[in-house]
Structure 1
Amino acid sequence: MRWFRAIILLNRNEHIYQTWPRCITTLDSFNSLRPLPDYSPRKPTVKDSILVDRICTTISQRPLEPFNIILNRIQSNFNYHHLVWVLIRIKNNPKLALKFFRWAGAQNIRSMEAYCIIIHLLAASGKIKAAEDFIRDVVLNPQKAFASNPNQLFNMMIYTYKVCGSNPLVFDLLVKVFAQNGMVHEAMDIFQGVLRYGFRVSVHSCNALLGVLLKANEVELGWKFYQQMTRNGISVNLYTLNMIVYALCKADNVEEAERFVGEMDEKGLVADVVSYTTIVDGYCRKGEVEKAIKVVGEMVQKQLEPNVFTYSTLINDLCKQGKVAKAMELYKNMIDRGVNPDNVVYATLVRGFCELGNLQEAFRLVDEMVKRGLTPNVVVYNTLLDGLCKKIKMRDAGQLFQDMCNKNVVPDKVTYTTLINGYCKEGNMHKAFRLHNEMIGKRIAPNVVTYTALTNGLCRKGEVEIANKLLYEMAGKGLVLNIFTYNSLIHGLCKVGNIEQAVKLVNDMVEAGMDPDTVTYTTLIDGYCKQGNLAAAFEYLSKMLENGVEPNAVTYNVLTETLYNAGKITESNMIFAKMVQKGISPNVVSYNFLLRQSCDQGMMQDASKHLKKMTEQGHIPNKNTYNLLIEGHCKIGNLEEACKVYRIMVRNGFRPGVGMYNTLIEALSKKGKLQEARDLFNEMRKRGLVPDRGVYNAFIDQNYLEGNVEEVLDLRDEVA
């Protein structure tokens, strides 16, 4: 989630440096503290003491002069023991000690002991940032200090602590640096050691370590570490709480995360918007959107205003479930509460409406987005293009593509592939291949999906041989056919009625080591159903079940619709009941089937019940839904209700087709509602739609009886 990025900022250096041996981490509990050791370095000889005195005197009296000049004569006799002895002698002058340490480093004279002393001296003098930088240098480049493992470094830091009069914060820095550099187990070992000597580690360093543990998916170890923090009296903060909540939700323990928030609330640590938004996201990921909405309600009760991320999470999940109507309710609610939708919210809603086929509402949202000062990005444009291409509105898609380029939104691989797929479905292979060449010219490499669209388009036009050549070209570029490629080709072959070739391709797919999935079987079942071969369709349903592949709502919709059309109403209802029994939620197509049954039988009250249940489940009626209802009401003479549904349909962005206009006009004419019929007739003609000859004849006769000779002649010219 975008808002969790802040938690990761503590862990900027993600790489784990393999120069340290891997440590085995356990979380120990201990009752007694270890005493700090006394510092007892190797004692200098008389000759060594004279050299150390000489160095200390020289650099103390001449601190501003270059050391490589004033210490030039003693360089040949100088070693790392002298470095340590000098640093201890001048420990009360950290600035001088640091300059001397750097001079020694330039002579390639270093030791881990010297490094630890200089770190302590810097910490003792309040130069915390400089101390941290030195620790980081040793941790990332252990060879500089001849440190073979983290424990050796820690033990030396402990050993030199007392003699330097250091700051206990130095051990906190040590834990933090190991943690920040992704060295989780090493940091855990240092943490244990620090506690054994009675030092405290700050909550900030603990949070850094906890964050790295959780990022590495060490959730169980992270939880144990949190428990040890609290056992050792480290006061956790909101940052800690949010990381634990995130970890629990990531592990699908969302209820446990909620309980944890409640427990912390009782202890006085109140959760914030981030905490609750994490829980909301957790429930959404599990598909339990109702629980997520309940959590938002609790937030509001606690006077915590849900932010754009909270709403975005919920809206995204609702749209994924096809419950766009509920998503829109949340969208309106967020605006009412003063929360401004961002690009993500709009992109999600646009995608939701496009998937439902309601492009008018999708484009309206984009207009609203622009009015709010937001700029549609390539994702939004790709979503709109996909919606247009699915409806084969390629002229509109081409114009939108041009508009996108004019506004300096750079098309990507998805853009080109979407358009290519659309043109292939339209049968315009010339434009499809032109775009294919254009994307190559722009150095955008076509992927498997691009080639799948092209081969599918060729198969639809019966160009199976050319499609096969294209597949060879695809293989030559190192692209491997996947299940989606095969399914697309099988769909294309079934679309043109070439089921034998489709079945052969399924066999080839199995030989290539790919098992047919739900889409594969459903495509074949649909192909056989369209040919009226129900026996073959049910044979493949049996194969599907035998191979452990579960049918989905689309599979059942194909079978119920085919059986119903064949007059096998009892069998059709049995299949529908089986779908519900298996716990498969009906989709819009499923509900439209129920509506069709009710409307065909003139049972409009049942139809209304199905419509109500459909909308309660978050499914938005589509054009077919409205067509069925209008025809049903017209059939029983309920014109008032039919006209009401017609107005709702238009208001929701759906344009009636010729059949719908004809049905309404004929029904209104029979009832003597001539003016309403005339209005629809004129509206239809203005839209460029051609009424049936029967409708024309009815209006010609009506105008003749009314003496409108000029209108009669115009209508005769139109119908001629």
Structure 2
Amino acid sequence: MHRLSLNAAKKTIFRHQNPFLDLPFLTNNLLNQIHRYPFEFSFKFSSIQSPSSPPSSSLQIIDTSDAKPLSSPLCTFLPYTHNPNNLVDLICLNLKLNDGNAVSLREEVQWVLPQLGTHEISRVLCRCQSSPLSALNFFNWVKFDLGLRPSVQNYCIIVHILVWSQEFLQSMKFLVELANGECPSLVVFKNLVSCTEDCNWNPIVFDMLVKAYVKVGNVEEGLKAFKEIVKIGLLPSVSASNAVLNGLLKSNRVDECWEMYNEMGRVGIPSNGFTFNILTHVLCRDGDAGKVNEFLEKMEEEGFDPDVVTYNTLINSYCNKCRLDDAFYLYRIMYRRGVPPDLVTYTALMKGLCKENKVKEAHQLFHQMIHRGLDPDTAAYNSLISGYCKEGKMQKARLLFNEMVSSGLMPDDITCRLLIQGYRMEGRLLSSLNLIAQLQRLGVSIPSDIYNYLVIALCQDNRPNAANSLFQRMVADGGEGNLEAYNCLIVSYCKFDSINEALALKDEMAREGLKPDLLTYRALISCLCRLSVRKAELLTKEMVEAGVGTLDDLVLFTSWMNEMCYARDVRAYSGLPFSILKFFQRIECISTTNIMRRITIKLSIDKLCKLQFKLLPVGISPTRLFYHSLISKLSGYVSGQPVFA
């Protein structure tokens, strides 16, 4: 039955001169039959050609894995703009008519947009090679407007197009995206190679692949890409080779650096000055002093004279390793080979001398540098100031500071820190404060860590008011106090029972987003025990509810009991332990013994007995000292001696 229906449909198609006029009829009848009997509708429909249909070249079916398959060849009867087989032509035509602008692209191809897959994207990109702007706009339209994820092949095609057009910045951006996407370099490399059959390409694209992986910190994948390039017979550039070398150096893979250098020589990649400077850093990491002269001679043999950067790298490495003899040997060699030392050279040598407590020699070298026409910078002055501060010669350090300022150089953070720490070691906090004021007059921004350092030092010197004044000046200047500085201020105020100032600082901490810790609460509670037991209990509850401390904190309990025992009238506090001990359920014998020693000395027999009955319910058993004191008092009471010791 259905065969007759299909034959009738065929006759109907050929009977009409323009079959598109009966498109509703075809849609409602013929396509329904195809859906019901897909296997019976297997005749060679592709041989049917309507007089008004597009050329047969547009009827080829695209094999794509991610696009939705065409339901049937009946799409040839659809209007030209609705035919999925014309998708690539429609997109390319729209891009051409709009000068590469893809803004109206969605509206033009919305009927066939579901058929857009990675294969179609690649075809569009390949046909836009002569217009890199159109290719780039289309690629971005797919990524951002459609929200599709282009395949690795799509990325490689657009990269080839952009590199061929010398759009290196944008092409490197796309390669970095692939590298950040954790796509293995071997996969990207194979796709780049396969795309060369359909794209114009420049060998520099493979160098950029190596650099992209090194740039994102994946040196291992960059090295793999380098080896694959060599395998196919291409010669990576010295720039790409240096990128791998530098990446291996930063990863502290010293042995592989030398292997990489040997591989460069094997395949014929010529070295340059950057190569040797990188290897100089490798040599410093290696620590083999015997290789230095050999390495410098090899540089000269290959036509590269070691420059000042090479020598400075080696000298700085020797100075950091306290090998001053080797450093000064290279310093003398520089003059013999016609490479005059620069400011970096002298600064490194002065730092090395000061590190070995040879400040006098460093200062002589400083004057020698000036006599040779070099103007010292802030780093050079800091190296000498550091040496004098380390020796405690603050007067000479201050003279250098004044000399630096008078020469027009602005002190930096290192200068401030060196001088303030030097004054602190000498116990001259007032001089530190005067220096802060002088630096502020000069317009130097004082870092918060220097302010906090001084605040802590003043608190340790039992000067909380001066510390708080400096602290508030820091806040007014836009600085931020750290938790250590706040705690030092609170502890210092609590030592002098200035509880209002201490609590104000605790509130300020909360406003600044700093959470008080156990040290904060311990200081405040200990102080309140001396001033107001009720407030101490409330603050203890706050601490526990905030999850900062626990109910069995031995330090806090000891503070509670010690402060009570040192009270003027101990007998007035004999009824308090129960209300306090309900917060603390675990007490060590040592703490109990010390407390009992103080309590039993002044309490009467009746008070001691009452205290015993209050301690037992909270889990504290009287110690031997307690019973010894009780027996002594009873003996004294029986013999007629005074009850109180």
- Output the TM-score relative to the length of structure 1: 0.52
Counterpart of 1:74? 112
Matches within 5 A, 1:336-355: 336-355=371-390
**Distance across 2 between alignment mates of 1:90 and 1:378:** 55
Counterpart of 1:476? 519
Counterpart of 1:313? 348
The answer as to whether partners of 1:203 and 1:235 remain within 8 angstroms in 2 is yes
- Which structure has more relative contact order (CA 8 Å, sep 6+)? It is 1
C-alpha displacement at 1:190, in angstroms? Answer: 0.9
Counterpart of 1:121? 161
Deviates more, 1:383-392 or 1:292-301: 383-392
SS in 1 for 2:270: coil
**Distance across 1 between alignment mates of 2:288 and 2:485:** 36
Q: Deviations over 1:302-334 (max 9, x none)?
A: 221212211111111211211001101110111
The answer as to whether partners of 2:277 and 2:309 remain within 8 angstroms in 1 is yes
**Distance across 1 between alignment mates of 2:395 and 2:369:** 22
C-alpha displacement at 1:200, in angstroms? Answer: 2.1
Counterpart of 2:584? none
Instruction: Tell me: CA distance 1:52–1:280, structure 2 relative to 1, closer, same or farther (3 Å).
Output: same
Matches within 5 A, 1:539-550: none
The answer as to whether partners of 1:151 and 1:190 remain within 8 angstroms in 2 is yes
C-alpha displacement at 1:169, in angstroms? Answer: 1.1
**Distance across 1 between alignment mates of 2:281 and 2:315:** 11
Q: Residue 359 in 1 paired to residue 394 in 2?
A: yes
Instruction: Return the match for 2:286 from 247, 251, 265.
Output: 251
Instruction: Tell me: CA distance 1:69–1:229, structure 2 relative to 1, closer, same or farther (3 Å).
Output: same
Instruction: Tell me: CA distance 1:128–1:61, structure 2 relative to 1, closer, same or farther (3 Å).
Output: closer
Instruction: Tell me: CA distance 1:374–1:160, structure 2 relative to 1, closer, same or farther (3 Å).
Output: same
**Distance across 1 between alignment mates of 2:220 and 2:155:** 23
Matches within 5 A, 1:125-204: 125-141=165-181, 149-204=184-239
Counterpart of 1:544? none
C-alpha displacement at 1:451, in angstroms? Answer: 8.1
Counterpart of 1:20? none
Counterpart of 2:370? 335
Counterpart of 2:26? none
**Distance across 1 between alignment mates of 2:447 and 2:125:** 61
**Distance across 2 between alignment mates of 1:345 and 1:187:** 39
**Distance across 1 between alignment mates of 2:472 and 2:131:** 72
**Distance across 2 between alignment mates of 1:127 and 1:433:** 59
Instruction: Tell me: CA distance 1:403–1:73, structure 2 relative to 1, closer, same or farther (3 Å).
Output: same
The answer as to whether partners of 1:392 and 1:425 remain within 8 angstroms in 2 is no
**Distance across 2 between alignment mates of 1:411 and 1:56:** 61
Q: Deviations over 1:156-179 (max 9, x none)?
A: 111111321311111111111111
The answer as to whether partners of 1:254 and 1:282 remain within 8 angstroms in 2 is no
SS in 1 for 2:198: helix
Question: Amino acid of the residue matched to residue 75 of structure 1?
Answer: L
The answer as to whether partners of 1:180 and 1:209 remain within 8 angstroms in 2 is no
Question: Amino acid of the residue matched to residue 178 of structure 2?
Answer: V
**Distance across 1 between alignment mates of 2:88 and 2:424:** 86
Q: Deviations over 1:490-534 (max 9, x none)?
A: xxxxxxxxxxxxxxxxxxxxxxxxxxxxxxxxxxxxxxxxxxxxx
Instruction: Tell me: CA distance 1:446–1:255, structure 2 relative to 1, closer, same or farther (3 Å).
Output: farther
C-alpha displacement at 1:87, in angstroms? Answer: 3.6
Aligned length: 422
**Distance across 1 between alignment mates of 2:110 and 2:468:** 76
C-alpha displacement at 1:56, in angstroms? Answer: 6.9
The answer as to whether partners of 1:63 and 1:96 remain within 8 angstroms in 2 is no
C-alpha displacement at 1:444, in angstroms? Answer: 4.6
Instruction: Return the match for 1:220 from 228, 250, 255.
Output: 255
Instruction: Return the match for 1:112 from 143, 149, 152.
Output: 152
The answer as to whether partners of 1:237 and 1:269 remain within 8 angstroms in 2 is yes
Instruction: Tell me: CA distance 1:332–1:125, structure 2 relative to 1, closer, same or farther (3 Å).
Output: same
Counterpart of 1:286? 321
Q: Deviations over 1:462-512 (max 9, x none)?
A: xxxxxxxxxxx9862599xxxxxxxxxxxxxxxxxxxxxxxxxxxxxxxxx
Q: Determine what percentage of the aligned residue pairs are the same residue.
A: 26
Question: Amino acid of the residue matched to residue 302 of structure 1?
Answer: R
**Distance across 1 between alignment mates of 2:402 and 2:288:** 40
Instruction: Tell me: CA distance 1:296–1:83, structure 2 relative to 1, closer, same or farther (3 Å).
Output: same
Question: Amino acid of the residue matched to residue 238 of structure 1?
Answer: G
Q: Deviations over 1:401-433 (max 9, x none)?
A: 332333343444664566567768978676467
Instruction: Tell me: CA distance 1:57–1:453, structure 2 relative to 1, closer, same or farther (3 Å).
Output: closer
**Distance across 2 between alignment mates of 1:413 and 1:109:** 47
The answer as to whether partners of 2:248 and 2:256 remain within 8 angstroms in 1 is yes
Matches within 5 A, 1:461-500: 476=519
Q: Residue 232 in 1 paired to residue 275 in 2?
A: no
Counterpart of 2:546? none
Q: Residue 84 in 1 paired to residue 127 in 2?
A: no
**Distance across 2 between alignment mates of 1:294 and 1:342:** 24
C-alpha displacement at 1:292, in angstroms? Answer: 0.6
Instruction: Tell me: CA distance 1:474–1:351, structure 2 relative to 1, closer, same or farther (3 Å).
Output: farther
Deviates more, 1:77-86 or 1:45-54: 45-54
C-alpha displacement at 1:62, in angstroms? Answer: 2.5
Instruction: Tell me: CA distance 1:61–1:354, structure 2 relative to 1, closer, same or farther (3 Å).
Output: closer
Question: Amino acid of the residue matched to residue 79 of structure 1?
Answer: G
Question: Amino acid of the residue matched to residue 372 of structure 1?
Answer: S
**Distance across 2 between alignment mates of 1:433 and 1:284:** 42
Counterpart of 1:296? 331
User: Structure 1: which 5+ residue stretches go unaligned?
Assistant: 1-40, 143-147, 462-472, 480-720
C-alpha displacement at 1:209, in angstroms? Answer: 2.2
C-alpha displacement at 1:362, in angstroms? Answer: 1.8
Matches within 5 A, 1:399-478: 399-412=434-447, 415-416=450-451, 419=454, 431=466, 444-445=480-481, 476=519
The answer as to whether partners of 1:308 and 1:339 remain within 8 angstroms in 2 is yes
The answer as to whether partners of 2:314 and 2:327 remain within 8 angstroms in 1 is yes
Matches within 5 A, 1:452-601: 476=519
**Distance across 1 between alignment mates of 2:274 and 2:521:** 47
Counterpart of 1:274? 309
The answer as to whether partners of 2:319 and 2:348 remain within 8 angstroms in 1 is yes
Question: Amino acid of the residue matched to residue 151 of structure 2?
Answer: S
- Output the TM-score relative to the length of structure 2: 0.57
C-alpha displacement at 1:247, in angstroms? Answer: 2.1
C-alpha displacement at 1:80, in angstroms? Answer: 2.6
Instruction: Tell me: CA distance 1:240–1:300, structure 2 relative to 1, closer, same or farther (3 Å).
Output: same
The answer as to whether partners of 1:420 and 1:454 remain within 8 angstroms in 2 is no
C-alpha displacement at 1:271, in angstroms? Answer: 1.4
Q: Deviations over 1:548-593 (max 9, x none)?
A: xxxxxxxxxxxxxxxxxxxxxxxxxxxxxxxxxxxxxxxxxxxxxx
Question: Amino acid of the residue matched to residue 416 of structure 2?
Answer: Y
**Distance across 2 between alignment mates of 1:255 and 1:454:** 58
Instruction: Tell me: CA distance 1:189–1:252, structure 2 relative to 1, closer, same or farther (3 Å).
Output: same
C-alpha displacement at 1:217, in angstroms? Answer: 1.6
Question: Amino acid of the residue matched to residue 225 of structure 1?
Answer: M
**Distance across 2 between alignment mates of 1:369 and 1:294:** 30
SS in 2 for 1:226: helix
The answer as to whether partners of 2:354 and 2:384 remain within 8 angstroms in 1 is yes
Question: Amino acid of the residue matched to residue 440 of structure 2?
Answer: C
C-alpha displacement at 1:356, in angstroms? Answer: 2.5
C-alpha displacement at 1:437, in angstroms? Answer: 7.6
The answer as to whether partners of 1:280 and 1:310 remain within 8 angstroms in 2 is yes
Question: Amino acid of the residue matched to residue 220 of structure 1?
Answer: D
**Distance across 2 between alignment mates of 1:103 and 1:232:** 42
Question: Amino acid of the residue matched to residue 367 of structure 1?
Answer: N
